[in-house]
């Protein structure tokens, strides 16, 4: 019986007619004899033409092979191609004492069933079993699958990805440090020399809007819900990486990743409720119950709609990706009995433990009008720029991830993926500081919602089929919420900028001079691909 993760992954395993008893060899043992009808011949010919392959498991070790072949030799016209179905398979099994170490399948290219013509044919399917002893210990039997040439184990490319990402981080760090130190140092010198003269001068740029910077954002309930959901997804990602790094997700550990995602997401829902409600109450929100409901639906709502649409398509095409009714009931029970209660408990705890939002300066009663901005300083170009740089840091690993999810590859290098993830967070944080400064320098005080800009992840799969597009869009939503949280957490780094708005720069700290920034206190608290043949 399949586990929950296997069912979610679309795996539907059936018992094969092959009998492989331990150390019992067989030679051309007949599995079955069958007369293939005309419709069955057409069905198998289309499967052979599309390179369908089978995948089986023996002692939890995968076996795969093509079901047939196309003879194109010396034929320029596709109508002259010959289509054949393999009817003899040989299993080669390696063992060490009483343990199975490795198994592979070879198709006999000489025993074939001709599928070229639309007519009934007789087929006799056979198999052979060969056993051979090996010195490989049982503990290392999965290394063959991790190091297989069919897996994306091109370390040079992955290390190039890391080097490319590190260069991006260094460039961003240098750019950010240069801009901030030069601009703010000039301000220190300018206003430190004559404090009273500075009082007589009209404030310009980012100092001009110090009374509007800490104004609460529009749609603060939605913003708090996004922050809470993003915190939960970040926690989920960290736990998944921890399990991957300790070796829980090895190749062909069927359904382990999906099971872990469902369980950890359910158990971390309290984090989303706590963060969202606590922050919403800090923003002087009153309807915390509605905010809690919005938090619970912000991520799961689009997921439910996507599932309903794709599950309907899968049912219409009789695909194994369609979830059985029993699995749907299990997921609903998990949501009802685990996710929702923890979300509510987290929301109650967040409401009771909220802290007052203490801005370092008084916010003006009426918002200041934002001056007209050049097109390149508007929201869309900023989102494109803020998305392109993180995308450039992860695009190589993103290719391998998509190849493992939608293709024949298997991703196993979780340590490198974790390094790239850390680099992604650093790049996101740095670009947030830089773009926030430029936005405030343009006297645009509506900075809160600029943190959400993960549309860049959808650049890669935009031209691919329906299934890919829908789940890729949902992946975008996941990263939107996750990186939104990272950007807001980096808000404490932005206090170097925002704090200066509240205290009027050196009018309160004239001693800073050229010595750099003063010390600031915190202001507020294995893919398994299954084909039908």
Tokens 């009374």 -> residue: 211
Residue 174: exposure state from Cβ atoms within 10 A (0-12, 13-18, ≥19): exposed
Domain segments of the chain: what residues?
32-141, 150-214+368-533, 222-358
Helices then strands, counting H and E runs in the chain, come out as 15, 9
In angstroms, the Cα distances linking 87 to 33, 112, 124, 492 are 10, 6, 7, 66
The three-point CA angle 242-245-250 to 5° equals 115
In angstroms, the Cα distances linking 151 to 147, 154, 159 are 7, 8, 16
If one counts every other C-beta atom within 10 angstroms of the C-beta of residue 296, the result is: 23
In angstroms, the Cα distances linking 68 to 40, 79, 264, 327 are 14, 17, 42, 34
Residue 507 is given by DSSP the state: G
If one counts every other C-beta atom within 10 angstroms of the C-beta of residue 91, the result is: 20
Residue 209 is given by DSSP the state: G
Residue 218: exposure state from Cβ atoms within 10 A (0-12, 13-18, ≥19): exposed
Cα four-point dihedral sign 505, 506, 508, 512: positive
In angstroms, the Cα distances linking 211 to 66, 207, 379, 396 are 69, 9, 22, 43
Q: Are strands 82-86 and 68-71 parallel, antiparallel or unpaired?
A: antiparallel
Report the C-alpha gap between 7 and 326 in whole angstroms. Answer: 10
> Tens place of pLDDT for every residue, the chain, 533 residues?
667 878 887 778 888 899 999 999 999 899 999 999 999 999 999 999 988 888 888 988 888 889 999 998 878 788 889 999 999 999 999 999 999 999 999 999 989 999 988 899 999 999 999 999 999 998 888 777 665 544 444 567 777 777 877 887 788 778 777 777 776 676 566 555 555 554 545 555 566 676 677 777 788 898 889 889 888 988 999 999 999 898 888 767 778 888 999 999 999 999 999 999 998 988 888 899 999 999 999 888 888 888 888 888 888 888 777 888 888 999 999 999 999 999 999 999 999 887 776 666 677 777 777 778 787 777 777 777 777 777 777 777 877 777 777 666 667 778 888 888 888 888 877 777 777 777 777 777 777 776 555 444 444 433 334 444 555 554 555 655 555 555 555 444 454 444 444 443 333 333 333 333 332 223 332 333 333 33
Q: What is the 3-state secondary structure (H, E, C) of 130-175?
A: EEEECCCCHHHCCHHHHCCCCCCCCHHHHHHHHHHHHHHHHHHHHH
Backbone region of residue 203 per phi and psi (left: phi > 0; alpha: psi in -120 to 50; beta: other values)? beta
H or E segment to which residue 418 belongs: helix 414-441
Residue 57 is given by DSSP the state: E
Give the tokens for residue 188: 């220190």
Query: Rg of the chain over CA atoms, in angstroms?
Result: 30
Report the C-alpha gap between 59 and 101 in whole angstroms. Answer: 9
If one counts every other C-beta atom within 10 angstroms of the C-beta of residue 186, the result is: 10
Residues with Cβ within 8 Å of 464's Cβ and at least 6 positions away in sequence, in order, are 406, 472
Strand partners, 112: 86
Least Cα distance to 292 among 264, 269, 259, 325 occurs for 269
Residue 202: exposure state from Cβ atoms within 10 A (0-12, 13-18, ≥19): exposed
The reply to whether the predicted model has a pTM over 0.95 is no
């Amino acid at each position: 019986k399949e586990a929950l993760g296997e069912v979610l992954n679309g795996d539907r395993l059936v018992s094969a007619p092959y009998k492989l008893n331990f150390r019992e060899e067989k030679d051309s043992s007949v599995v079955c004899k069958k007369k293939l009808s005309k419709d069955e011949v057409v069905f198998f010919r289309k499967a052979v033409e599309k390179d369908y392959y089978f995948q089986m498991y023996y002692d939890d070790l995968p076996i795969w092979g093509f079901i047939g072949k196309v003879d194109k030799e010396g034929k320029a016209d596709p109508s002259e191609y010959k289509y054949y179905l393999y009817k003899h398979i040989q299993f080669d099994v390696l063992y060490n004492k009483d343990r199975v170490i490795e198994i592979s399948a070879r198709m006999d290219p000489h025993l074939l069933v001709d599928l070229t013509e639309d007519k009934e044919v007789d087929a006799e399917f056979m198999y052979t079993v060969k056993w051979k002893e090996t010195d490989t210990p049982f503990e290392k039997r999965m290394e063959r699958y991790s190091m297989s040439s069919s897996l994306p184990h091109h370390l040079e490319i992955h290390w190039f990805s890391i080097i490319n990402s590190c260069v991006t981080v260094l460039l961003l760090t240098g750019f950010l440090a240069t801009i901030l130190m030069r601009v703010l140092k000039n301000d220190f010198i300018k206003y430190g020399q004559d404090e009273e003269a500075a009082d007589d001068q009209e404030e310009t740029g980012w100092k001009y809007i110090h009374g509007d910077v800490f104004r609460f954002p529009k749609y603060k309930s939605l913003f708090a819900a996004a922050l809470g959901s993003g915190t939960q997804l970040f926690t989920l990602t960290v736990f998944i990486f921890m399990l991957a790094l300790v070796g829980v997700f090895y190749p062909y550990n069927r359904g382990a990743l999906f099971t872990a995602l469902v369980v950890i997401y359910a158990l971390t829902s309290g984090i989303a409720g706590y963060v969202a409600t606590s922050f919403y109450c800090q923003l002087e929100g009153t309807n915390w119950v509605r905010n809690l409901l919005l938090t619970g639906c912000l991520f799961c709502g689009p997921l439910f709609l996507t599932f309903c649409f794709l599950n309907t398509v899968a049912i219409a095409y009789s695909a194994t990706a369609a979830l059985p009714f029993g699995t749907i009931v299990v997921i609903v029970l998990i949501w009802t009995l685990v996710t929702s209660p923890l979300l509510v408990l987290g929301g109650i705890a967040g409401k009771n433990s909220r802290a007052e939002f203490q801005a370092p300066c008084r916010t003006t009663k009426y918002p200041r009008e934002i001056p007209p901005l050049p097109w390149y300083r508007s929201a869309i170009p900023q989102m494109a720029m803020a998305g392109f740089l993180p995308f450039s840091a992860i695009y190589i690993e993103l290719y391998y991830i998509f190849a493992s999810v939608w293709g024949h590859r298997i991703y196993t290098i979780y340590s490198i993926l974790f390094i790239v993830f850390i680099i992604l967070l650093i790049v996101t944080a740095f670009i947030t500081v830089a773009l926030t400064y430029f936005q405030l320098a343009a006297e645009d005080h509506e900075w809160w919602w600029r943190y959400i800009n993960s549309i860049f992840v959808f650049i890669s799969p935009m031209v691919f089929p329906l299934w890919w597009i829908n789940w890729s869009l949902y992946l975008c939503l996941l990263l939107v919420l996750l990186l939104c949280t990272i950007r807001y957490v980096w808000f404490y780094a932005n206090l170097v900028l925002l704090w200066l708005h509240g205290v009027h720069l050196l009018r309160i700290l004239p001693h800073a001079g050229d010595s750099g920034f003063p010390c600031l206190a915190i202001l507020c608290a294995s893919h398994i691909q299954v084909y039908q043949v």
